[in-house]
Structure 1
Amino acid sequence: MKGRRFFVLFMYSLGYMGISIFTQTAVKWYQYYYTPPAFNTQGLKILVPIGLIGFSMIVARIFDGVSDPIVAYYSDKLRSRWGRRIPFVLFGSPVLFLSFIMIWFPPVEHESILNFVYLTFVLSLFFVAFTAVVAPYLALIPEITKSAGERITLTMMQGITQILGVMVAEAGSGILIRIFNFKVMGIILGSFAFVTLMLTPLFVKEEPVKEEDMPTVSMFASIKMTFSNKDFIYYLTAITALWFGLNTLTIAMPYITEVLLKIPAENSGFMIAGAFVVAVFFSFFVPKLSLAYGKKKVFMVFSAFFALILGLTGLFGTVFSKTLSIVIILLAGIPLSVFFVIPNAMIADIAELDGIKVGQRREGMFFGAQGFVVKVVMGISSLVTPLLFRAFGYSAESPLGLMLCGPLAGVLILLSLVVFRNYSISEKELEKKG
Structure 2
Amino acid sequence: MKTDSTFSYRKILLLGFGFMGVSLLWAIYNAYVPIFLQAGRSDYSTTAQVSGFGLGADTTGFIMTLDNIAALFILPYVGFFSDRLRTRWGRRKPFLAAGAPVAFLGFIGIPMFLGNSLVLFMAAICVTLLAMDAFRTPVISLMPDITPSPYRSQANGMVNLMGGVGGVLAFAIGGLLFRVSPAAPFLFGGLTMLAGIGIVLLFIREPAGWVAESETGITSFRDQFRQLDLFRDRSLPMILGAIFFWFLGYNALEVFFTSFAVNSLNLDSGEATFLLAYFSLAIIVFSPLSGWIGGKWGRKRSIGGGIVAFALLLAIGSRMTTPVQAKVLLPFCGIAWSLILVNSLPMVVDMAPQDQLGSYTGLYYLASQLSAIAGPILAGKIIDLFQNNYRISFLYGSVTLGIALLFLLRVKRGEALPEVSPGLS
TM over 0.5: yes
Going from structure 1 to structure 2, the CA distance change for 1:389 and 1:408 (only over 3 Å counts) comes to closer
Going from structure 1 to structure 2, the CA distance change for 1:129 and 1:166 (only over 3 Å counts) comes to same
Deviation at 1:278, TM superposition (A): 2.5
Going from structure 1 to structure 2, the CA distance change for 1:145 and 1:234 (only over 3 Å counts) comes to same
Deviation at 1:19, TM superposition (A): 1.2
Paired position in structure 1 for 2:329: 328
Worse-superposed segment, 370-379 or 401-410? 370-379
For residues 113-167 of structure 1, what are the alpha-carbon distances to aligned partners after superposition, in whole Å with 9 as ceiling and x for unaligned? x51x444443333222222111011112222113513x23321210110111111
Q: Take 1:165 and 1:87, find their aligned partners in 2: how far apart are those partners?
A: 23
Paired position in structure 2 for 1:358: none
Letter in 2 for 1:380: A
Structure 1 SS opposite 2:12: helix
Paired position in structure 2 for 1:300: 304
Q: Take 1:405 and 1:202, find their aligned partners in 2: how far apart are those partners?
A: 42
Q: Take 1:187 and 1:329, find their aligned partners in 2: how far apart are those partners?
A: 27
Letter in 2 for 1:46: G
Deviation at 1:53, TM superposition (A): 2.7
Letter in 2 for 1:191: L
Alpha-carbon contact 1:64-1:131 (below 8 Å) kept: yes
Alpha-carbon contact 2:80-2:359 (below 8 Å) kept: yes
Q: Take 2:181 and 2:200, find their aligned partners in 1: how far apart are those partners?
A: 31
Match 2:35 to one of 32, 37, 40: 32
Alpha-carbon contact 1:13-1:161 (below 8 Å) kept: yes
Structure 1 residue 80 and structure 2 residue 80: aligned? Answer: no
Q: Take 2:206 and 2:420, find their aligned partners in 1: how far apart are those partners?
A: 23
Paired position in structure 2 for 1:420: 408
Letter in 1 for 2:392: L
For residues 87-107 of structure 1, what are the alpha-carbon distances to aligned partners after superposition, in whole Å with 9 as ceiling and x for unaligned? 11111111121221122222x
Structure 2 SS opposite 1:285: helix
Going from structure 1 to structure 2, the CA distance change for 1:311 and 1:420 (only over 3 Å counts) comes to same
Q: Pairwise mapping of residues 151-230 of structure 1 onto structure 2 (< 5 A)?
A: 151-178=152-179, 180-208=180-208, 209-211=210-212, 216-226=218-228, 228=230, 230=234
Structure 1 residue 58 and structure 2 residue 46: aligned? Answer: no
Paired position in structure 2 for 1:431: 418
Paired position in structure 2 for 1:139: 141
Match 2:49 to one of 43, 57, 80: 43
Letter in 2 for 1:373: A
Deviation at 1:59, TM superposition (A): 3.7
Match 2:356 to one of 334, 357, 362: 362
Deviation at 1:231, TM superposition (A): 2.3
Match 1:16 to one of 19, 41, 44: 19
Q: Take 1:4 and 1:231, find their aligned partners in 2: how far apart are those partners?
A: 27
Deviation at 1:406, TM superposition (A): 1.0
Match 1:256 to one of 260, 265, 276: 260
Going from structure 1 to structure 2, the CA distance change for 1:381 and 1:118 (only over 3 Å counts) comes to farther
Aligned length: 410
Alpha-carbon contact 2:12-2:159 (below 8 Å) kept: no
Q: Take 2:91 and 2:338, find their aligned partners in 1: how far apart are those partners?
A: 30
Match 2:384 to one of 390, 402, 407: 390
Deviation at 1:48, TM superposition (A): 5.1
Paired position in structure 2 for 1:405: 393
Letter in 2 for 1:228: L
Q: Take 2:215 and 2:91, find their aligned partners in 1: how far apart are those partners?
A: 13
Alpha-carbon contact 1:223-1:365 (below 8 Å) kept: no
Letter in 2 for 1:75: S
Q: Take 1:331 and 1:146, find their aligned partners in 2: how far apart are those partners?
A: 30
Q: Take 1:206 and 1:87, find their aligned partners in 2: how far apart are those partners?
A: 12
Going from structure 1 to structure 2, the CA distance change for 1:4 and 1:248 (only over 3 Å counts) comes to closer
Alpha-carbon contact 1:174-1:267 (below 8 Å) kept: yes
Paired position in structure 2 for 1:397: none
Q: Take 1:287 and 1:410, find their aligned partners in 2: how far apart are those partners?
A: 24
Paired position in structure 2 for 1:265: 269
Deviation at 1:69, TM superposition (A): 2.1
For residues 55-94 of structure 1, what are the alpha-carbon distances to aligned partners after superposition, in whole Å with 9 as ceiling and x for unaligned? 3233442222111122122111111001111111111111
Deviation at 1:413, TM superposition (A): 1.1
Deviation at 1:189, TM superposition (A): 1.8
Structure 2 SS opposite 1:362: helix
RMSD: 2.6
Unaligned runs of 5+ in 2: none
Alpha-carbon contact 2:103-2:132 (below 8 Å) kept: yes
Q: Take 1:46 and 1:207, find their aligned partners in 2: how far apart are those partners?
A: 47
Letter in 1 for 2:379: T
Deviation at 1:387, TM superposition (A): 2.6
Sequence identity percentage: 20
Alpha-carbon contact 1:12-1:204 (below 8 Å) kept: yes
Alpha-carbon contact 2:383-2:392 (below 8 Å) kept: no
Q: Take 2:197 and 2:206, find their aligned partners in 1: how far apart are those partners?
A: 16
For residues 339-358 of structure 1, what are the alpha-carbon distances to aligned partners after superposition, in whole Å with 9 as ceiling and x for unaligned? 3421232222122xx34xxx
Q: Take 1:238 and 1:84, find their aligned partners in 2: how far apart are those partners?
A: 30
Alpha-carbon contact 1:76-1:215 (below 8 Å) kept: no
Q: Take 1:242 and 1:39, find their aligned partners in 2: how far apart are those partners?
A: 30
Going from structure 1 to structure 2, the CA distance change for 1:217 and 1:422 (only over 3 Å counts) comes to farther
Letter in 2 for 1:379: I
Q: Take 1:4 and 1:339, find their aligned partners in 2: how far apart are those partners?
A: 23
Q: Pairwise mapping of residues 99-118 of structure 1 onto structure 2 (< 5 A)?
A: 99-106=106-113, 109-110=115-116, 115=118, 117-118=119-120
Alpha-carbon contact 2:9-2:155 (below 8 Å) kept: no
